[in-house]
């Protein structure tokens, strides 16, 4: 929905254009109504393009940046000193984050999520505070406020990013740290506890209606095999979308996918069931004559998330999350009787403790095994 509102006084009218569509809300004020009308039409087209192409809409592409007020000469000299390449406890958190991005971010497997969290911290109230000024009490207050609207796991993941910066800041230079005499304020803060494991299982009926909804949506030729691989293998979304032609092996025993560089840094071979092979066969045939590094999938992570939500809602499964498919896959592998080691090989879990949080055995399977003679 787009609208234009007339504001101000006679002789000095202003016109505020607003577009609300697909979860986005963008507003901008103009001196002339025609400018507001043209702007709202451009924004509406851009949001609709997101639905059609999967390209994320960024409202800041349509809102001019505010010009920061000029700083005093003293403030400018202070900025120049703090921008020096030598780490200092007088660096602002924003400056420390920038250094961390340049030197450490590319070493992280989940760098995209880490980048989003770091960017959020650079927009927080701590951004222009010096590293030495941020106290455990301040962090504790932030955790308390954040916990009112976000889940415990989200709060913990957010705070871990800042903790990592303080840890590297206090580490000796001989151990590739910054060598600063500074303590980590996060260590003295109680983080929210994650209570219990998510127990959401996907039954056969739910799977059928979900896959039917996927088949009726856009990108069905790629979304269907993506969903099948998720449920059959337990692979992560990023691992599936990054599969290339040379990672797929076809032998007399069956098909497999060799991931050389996974989230936990280990190479592993993921074996495909006949159902998984049947799902990816058309995509593989389409790239068989192309170079080895050709991706199996051409859809983006954003597209997958967007069309999964649409299909999920259409199927009436609004409590289902995309990540639940990974839980379901691991649980089904356990139901089939695979050993913990074999399940870990398929799913890529490095820690048995983490893996066991994913395994949610069905009551039927437990009762059947309880009745077996040994």
Q: For the domain that residue 226 is a member of, what is the CATH number?
A: 1.10.443.10
Say whether both 13 and 158 belong to one domain: no
Q: Are 330 and 347 in contact (CB under 8 A)?
A: yes
Say whether both 114 and 177 belong to one domain: yes
Q: Are 317 and 209 in contact (CB under 8 A)?
A: yes
Start-end of H helices in the chain:
33-53, 73-82, 93-103, 111-122, 136-146, 152-170, 204-215, 220-233, 237-241, 274-287, 301-314, 324-335, 340-347, 352-358, 363-370
Query: Of 34, 61, 88, which residue constitutes the final position of a domain?
Result: 61
Say whether both 151 and 7 belong to one domain: no
**77 falls within a domain:** yes
Taking Cα atoms as reference points, which of 56, 71, 69, 53 lies closest to residue 23? 56
User: Which domain, by its residues, includes 9?
Assistant: 2-61
Taking Cα atoms as reference points, which of 136, 207, 128, 202 lies closest to residue 166? 136
What pLDDT, on the 0 to 100 scale, is given for residue 203?
87
| Global pTM value | 0.54
Say whether both 294 and 345 belong to one domain: yes
Say whether both 245 and 132 belong to one domain: no
What pLDDT, on the 0 to 100 scale, is given for residue 265?
56
Say whether both 156 and 241 belong to one domain: no
**194 falls within a domain:** no
**10 falls within a domain:** yes
What pLDDT, on the 0 to 100 scale, is given for residue 364?
54
Quote the tokens at residue 252.
Answer: 């007399």
**352 falls within a domain:** yes
What pLDDT, on the 0 to 100 scale, is given for residue 129?
94
How do beta strands 248-251 and 268-271 pair?
A: unpaired
3-state secondary structure of 271: strand
Say whether both 83 and 49 belong to one domain: no
**29 falls within a domain:** yes
Say whether both 53 and 127 belong to one domain: no
Cα separation, 259 vs 155, whole angstroms = 30
Say whether both 31 and 108 belong to one domain: no
The pLDDT tens digits of the residues spanning 258-294 come to: 987 665 556 788 889 899 999 999 999 999 999 999 9
**68 falls within a domain:** no
Say whether both 104 and 253 belong to one domain: no
Say whether both 335 and 227 belong to one domain: yes
The C-alpha angle with vertex 58 and arms to 32 and 315, in degrees rounded to 5, equals: 120
Please report, for the domain that includes residue 156, its CATH number.
1.10.150
Given a cut of 50, the residues of the chain with pLDDT beneath it are: 361, 363, 366, 370, 374
What pLDDT, on the 0 to 100 scale, is given for residue 366?
44
Say whether both 26 and 131 belong to one domain: no
**196 falls within a domain:** no
What pLDDT, on the 0 to 100 scale, is given for residue 281?
94
What pLDDT, on the 0 to 100 scale, is given for residue 213?
95
Number of domains, the chain: 3
What pLDDT, on the 0 to 100 scale, is given for residue 363?
47
């Amino acid at each position: 929905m787009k609208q234009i509102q007339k504001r101000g006084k006679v002789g000095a009218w202003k016109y505020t254009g607003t577009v609300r569509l697909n979860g986005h809300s963008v507003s901008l004020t103009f001196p002339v109504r025609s400018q507001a009308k043209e702007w709202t039409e451009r924004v509406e087209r851009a949001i609709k393009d997101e639905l059609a192409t999967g390209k994320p809409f960024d409202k800041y592409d349509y809102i001019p940046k505010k010009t920061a007020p000029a700083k005093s000469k003293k403030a400018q000299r202070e900025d120049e000193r703090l921008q020096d390449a030598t780490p200092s406890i007088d660096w602002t958190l924003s400056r420390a984050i920038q250094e961390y991005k340049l030197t450490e971010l590319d070493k992280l497997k989940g760098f995209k999520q880490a980048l989003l969290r770091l960017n959020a911290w650079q927009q927080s109230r701590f951004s222009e505070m010096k590293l030495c000024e941020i106290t455990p009490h301040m962090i504790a207050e932030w955790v308390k406020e954040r916990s009112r609207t976000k889940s415990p796991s989200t709060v913990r993941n957010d705070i871990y990013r800042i903790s990592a910066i303080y840890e590297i800041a206090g580490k000796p230079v001989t151990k590739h740290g910054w060598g600063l005499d500074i303590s980590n304020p996060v260590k003295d803060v109680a983080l929210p506890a994650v209570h219990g494991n998510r127990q959401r299982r996907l039954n056969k009926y739910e799977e059928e209606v979900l896959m039917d909804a996927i088949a009726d949506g856009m990108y069905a030729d790629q979304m269907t095999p993506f969903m099948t691989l998720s449920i059959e293998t337990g692979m992560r979304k990023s691992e599936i979308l990054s599969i290339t032609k040379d990672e797929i092996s076809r032998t007399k025993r069956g098909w497999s996918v060799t991931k050389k560089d996974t989230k936990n840094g280990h190479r592993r071979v993921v074996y495909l069931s006949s159902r998984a092979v049947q799902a990816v066969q058309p995509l593989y045939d389409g790239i068989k004559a192309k170079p080895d590094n050709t991706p199996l999938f051409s859809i983006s992570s954003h597209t997958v998330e967007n069309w999964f939500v649409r299909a999920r809602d259409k199927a009436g499964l609004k409590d289902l999350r995309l990540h639940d498919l990974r839980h379901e896959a691991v649980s089904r592998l356990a139901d089939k009787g695979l050993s913990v080691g074999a399940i870990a090989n398929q799913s890529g879990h490095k820690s048995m403790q983490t893996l066991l949080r994913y395994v949610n055995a069905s009551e039927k399977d437990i009762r059947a095994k309880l009745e077996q003679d040994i």
